[in-house]
Structure 1
Amino acid sequence: MEERLTPLTVAGMMSGSSLDGMDICICKFTPLVDGTITHEIIVADTIEYEPEWIDHLSNALNFSMSDYFSFEADYSYCISMMVKDFMQIFGVDVDLIASHGHTLDHRPDEGISVQIGDPGVIAALTGVDTVADFRIQDITLGGQGAPIIPIAEKLLYPEFKSFINLGGIANISIHTEDTIIAWDTIPCNQVLNDQAMILGAEYDENGEWAKKGQYNQGLAATWDALEYLAHDIPKSLDNNWIREEYLPIISDLKVDPKDALNTACNHIATQIKKDIQKFSIVLPEKIMITGGGTHNTYLISCIEKQLSTIGIQIFIPEKTVIDYKEATMTALMGYLFAMDIPSTIPSVTGANRSTIAGKYCKG
């Protein structure tokens, strides 16, 4: 790897918990003499998963050991060809690939976090050096291995000090002069997309169904009673917990999907407000919102309404930042690995030290 700070072009790959596809973002990172890093997004897009992959990724932990190994090999080949074809289609050569992969299991208290997608396969099939598996070192050192987005916020968006990411899971980051805190606050798009699928769509466009639904106090109260929401930070959510504990509450209470969508949007907004009030030493004046949920105008209106009551303004960036902030983060973590710079933040994850996160395979 590099012995000094140099510009590099990196392809970042991110498969989020919403299962909408593989986000690929090719970025050029340039270190400046003042120690900061600038970035340029050259091209970014989402490669949608075929229904078969969505089903397999959702149920992989139920596979036999033999079937799981075959699935992992097939998935590694699939995403390798995704990024290889992506680079060829757009005519962009990269110095490095950074792959987050797809999280199948996340139980940091048990020392477990599995992101599928073998960097050795990616490196071999693309011929490009590849870095992957960015969470396990932090977990081994006592951390949550999540959130890992704050390093990108700190280095790439220094003009902002507070962030909300509305992905499959909503997470919050608060940056101060002395420290950075960040945490998974509540299930987000995983819940909204689940209910939209019952109504026959992949997602609730602009929150139109949510607008027509009625707030269900019983559903909100049952969600509020879940132990995770009361946990102190650092904390992070597992997708399997959402599928096994959080989502079934909707069907157990026989809540209409439109009412569930309305309740979820309002509950997400309320929980974000509660957590910011609970964990922030000083309330931020403005907060940047990114992630797929940002396109849900009803959800954004709920969040804006809640945060305005405590004097916080929201800021919505350009679409490329909204949709590809996490893929950009993955690319940055690859760049930091190449430059021998730590990329995890102990005040965020709870680990006993920072790490130069990732595993490297030569292309």
Structure 2
Amino acid sequence: MSNNTHQYKVIGLMSGTSLDGLDIAFCNFQYDYAKWSFTILDTKTIAYSQQLKNKLQQALHLDATELLLLHNEYGHWLGTEAKQFIAQHNLAVDFIASHGHTIFHQPDKGLTYQIGSGQHLANASNKKVICDFRTKDVALGGQGAPLVPIGDRLLFSKYDFCLNLGGFSNISFEEKTGKRIAFDISPVNMLLNYLSNKIDLEYDKGGNIAQSGTLNLRLLDHLNKLEHYNLNPPKSLGQEWFTQHCIPLIESTKDTVANLLHTSTVHIAHQIGQVIKSYTTKHKAKVFITGGGAKNNFLITTIKKELENLADVITPNEKMIDFKEALVFAFLGVLRDRNEVNCLQSVTGATKDSSSGVIYYP
């Protein structure tokens, strides 16, 4: 290949705040004359065992030694799973890019911590590993999140807005000035799953229970008045914020789970609608929706209603919905490997753009 064309075969590993499991995506990236293209070749989601899920959920409360032990154990587990995936599909892989699993995210204190030791991962998989994509940006005064926008800019530029519905919703778009802007909007699956757990369900499939409920105006008003919605970007959300601000509102509201789910869904759609309405500059903007929440039919319908006559809402095939984040973390690894910018100052509020991520060899 000439200097103008390069190809990378990379595995992306993603574990989100909703603790659904580990997403693995084997991707091919092609760089042709200053333009990127990609193919997602093989994928797998590995559900967490109840034991591992509990450990990750409780990691926030571990003492330092226990947390570091879990960091190493989880890194080894990631490497073992990646190695099995590579063997199963007989893959030739350049390297593995891993998001890790976020335990602490308090950028205002200069703190972010994703467990999943890169060295243990590299040793267990016998592959080069790039991970720890957030620390450098936070050290540069940034939020360390969201990181997906560079992927949105270089891989999904045909859409006006890229909206991800995961544990939280986040959005990314180009401002008129040509700057990429992105930030966390609201809780999504973290809130909906928290409510579903009350009736012994992991989640509300398709949003069917939420759809059967009715609106609790008092709760809706309280949720919409949360301070985060008045802040200007850059801004990001974490589990600590959810625990501190959302759970007390839910717990102090006496109502059925169906009504709480219904109200929460309307709240999420409203906040997303407010953001798109305030930033769109044209009629019928294209909004590209991925993440687990894209399978929640009631949520998507409610968002469409909120954006009626203003935007076209596009949900892609299931593979893209499920694996876009793993794809983008693989891509962040490629950019880091090339020593190119993968973390945007305009998104995170850091003092400068950076090429973020730490490289480990087995």
2:215 equivalent to 1:215: yes
The amino acid of 2:50's aligned partner reads: P
Equivalent residue for 1:343?
342
Does 2:228 align with 1:228?
A: yes
Residues 283, 357 of structure 1: alpha-carbon distance in 2 compared, 3 angstrom cutoff: farther
Provide the rounded CA distance (Å) in 1 between the counterparts of 2:57 and 2:247: 14
1:24/1:350 CA distance change after superposition, 3 Å: same
Partner of 2:80: 81
Moved more, 156-165 or 183-192: 156-165
Partner of 1:250: 250
Structure-1 residue corresponding to 2:185 = 185
Q: Quote the Cα distance in structure 1 between the aligned partners of 2:232 and 2:282.
A: 17
Corresponding letter in the other structure for 2:131 = A
Partner of 1:110: 109
Q: Which residue of 2 aligns with 1:91?
A: 90
Asked if 1:195 is matched to 2:195, the reply is yes
Alignment match, 1:295: 295
Cα distance in 2 between the residues matched to 1:113 and 1:301: 35
Tell me which residue corresponds to 1:72: 71
Instruction: Measure how far apart 1:277 and its partner are.
Output: 2.7
Post-superposition shift, 1:78?
A: 1.3
Deviations 1:12-45 (A, max 9, x none): 0010011000111110111102x01111111112
Residue type matched to 1:111 in 2?
Answer: G
Taking the aligned partners of 1:139 and 1:73, their CA distance within structure 2 comes to 22
**Equivalent-residue separation in structure 2 for 1:294 and 1:48 (angstroms):** 19
Distance 1:349 1:69 in 2: 27
The 3-state SS of whatever aligns with 1:247 is helix
Match of 1:357 in 2: 356
Q: How many residues align?
A: 359
Q: Larger deviation: 275-284 or 118-127? A: 275-284
Aligned pairs for 1:139-158 (under 5 A) are 139-158=138-157
What amino acid maps onto 1:260 in structure 2?
L
Distance 1:255 1:187 in 2: 20
Alpha-carbon contact 2:171-2:182 (below 8 Å) kept? yes
Counterparts of 1:26-37 in structure 2 under 5 Å?
26-33=26-33, 35-37=34-36
**Alpha carbons of structure 1 residues 283 and 183: separation in structure 2 relative to 1, 3 Å:** farther
Q: Which runs of 4+ in 1 moved over 6 A?
A: none
1:148 positional shift: 0.8
Q: Is the partner of 2:158 in helix, strand or coil? A: coil
How far apart in 2 are the matches of 1:66 and 1:338? 32
* Greater displacement, 221-230 / 113-122: 221-230
Give the deviation of 1:247 after TM superposition. 2.3
Q: Give a deviation string over 1:113-168, Cα, whole Å, max 9, x none.
A: 11111111111111111000111111111211111111111111121121110000
Give the secondary structure class of the aligned counterpart of 2:99.
strand
Once the two structures are TM-superposed, the CA of residue 279 in structure 1 deviates from its matched residue by 4.3
Matched residue type, 1:303: I
Any idea what SS the aligned residue of 1:308 has? coil
1 CA distance for matches of 2:22 and 2:209? 26
What residue is the counterpart of 1:274 in the other structure? 274
Instruction: State the partner residue of 1:40.
Output: 39
Contact 1:161–1:176 (8 Å) recurs in 2: no
5+ residue gaps in structure 2?
none
User: Normalising by the residue count of structure 1, what TM-score does the alignment of the two structures yield?
Assistant: 0.95
Amino acid at match of 2:196: A
Of 192-201 and 7-16, more deviation after overlay is shown by 192-201
Q: CA deviation at 1:223?
A: 1.3
The aligned counterpart of 1:286 is: 286
TM-score of the superposed pair, with normalisation by structure 2: 0.95
**d(CA) in 2 for partners of 1:243, 1:24:** 28
**Contact 1:269–1:302 (CA<8 Å) still a contact in 2?**
yes
Task: Give the corresponding residue for 1:324.
Answer: 323
Shift of 1:244: 3.1
Aligned twin of 2:10: 10
The superposition leaves residues 214-266 of structure 1 with CA deviations (integer Å, 9 ceiling, x where unpaired) of: 11111111112221111111100011221232123111212321111101111
Residues 140 and 352, structure 2, Cα contact 8 Å, conserved in 1: yes
Amino acid at match of 1:11: I
Alignment of 1:205 onto 2:205 = yes
- What are the Cα deviations for residues 291-324 of structure 1, in whole angstroms up to 9, with x where unaligned? 0000000000000000115x11101111111111
What code does the residue aligned with 2:246 have?
Y
SS of alignment partner, residue 100 of structure 2: strand
Structure-2 change in CA distance of 1:90 and 1:351 (3 Å):
same
> Aligned partners of 2:91, 2:264: CA distance in 1, in Å?
41
Secondary structure of residue in 2 paired with 1:223: helix
Q: Deviations over 1:153-205 (max 9, x none)?
A: 11111211211100000011112461111110000001111111222221111
**SS of the residue aligned with 2:307?**
helix
Q: How many angstroms does 1:212 deviate by?
A: 0.8
Amino acid of the residue matched to residue 226 of structure 1? L
Partners of 1:278 and 1:113 lie apart in 2 by 30
The answer to whether the Cα contact below 8 Å between 1:277 and 1:283 also exists between their aligned partners in 2 is no
> RMSD of the TM alignment (CA)?
1.6
